[in-house]
Amino acid sequence: MSPHVELILDGPIARLTLKRPDKLNALDRAMIDALADAARTIDAAPNVRVAILSGEGKAFSAGGDIAAWGGLPALDMWRDWTRAGHRAFEALARLRVPLIAMLTGHAFGGGLELAATADIRIAAAGIKLGLPESGLGMAPGWSGTQRLVRRFGASTVRRMALTGRMFTAEEAIKLGLVDELAPEAEIVERTEALAADICRRGPIAVQIVKAMINAAEGEDRDAPIEGIAGALTAMTEDLAEGVAAFREKRTPTFSGR
Is the overall model pTM greater than 0.85, yes or no?
yes
CA distances from 89 to 44, 59, 187 (A): 17, 18, 24
Indicate the number of domains in the chain. 2
* 224 and 190, same domain (yes or no): no
For residues 193 and 227, membership in a common domain is answered with no
More confident site: 8 or 140: 8
Residues 58 and 147 in one domain: yes
Q: Which residues carry out catalysis?
A: 113, 133
- Amino acid type, 69: W
Position 227 confidence tier, pLDDT thresholds 50, 70, 90: low
Of 126, 119, 108, 16, the closest CA to residue 61 belongs to 108
**141 lies in the same domain as 169:** yes
In a domain, 212, yes or no: yes
Buried (b) or exposed (e) across 74-109, using 16+ Cβ within 10 A? eeebeeebbebbbebbbbbbbbbbbbbbbbbbbbbb
pLDDT at 129: 97
Beta strands in the chain (DSSP E): 5-10, 13-18, 50-55, 59-61, 99-103, 106-108, 120-124, 128-130, 166-168, 180-182
Looking at the structure, tell me whether residues 241 and 141 fall in a common domain: no
Q: The CATH number of the domain where 149 resides is what? A: 3.90.226.10
The strand pair at 5-10 and 13-18 is best described as: antiparallel
Q: Name the DSSP letter for residue 27.
A: B
- Note whether residue 255 is domain-resident: no
Residue 155 has pLDDT above 70, yes or no: yes
Domain limits for position 97: 5-199
Q: Are residues 28 and 142 in the same domain?
A: yes
What's the pLDDT score for residue 190? 97
Inside any domain, residue 57: yes
**Residues near 232 by Cβ (< 8 Å), separated by ≥ 6?**
none
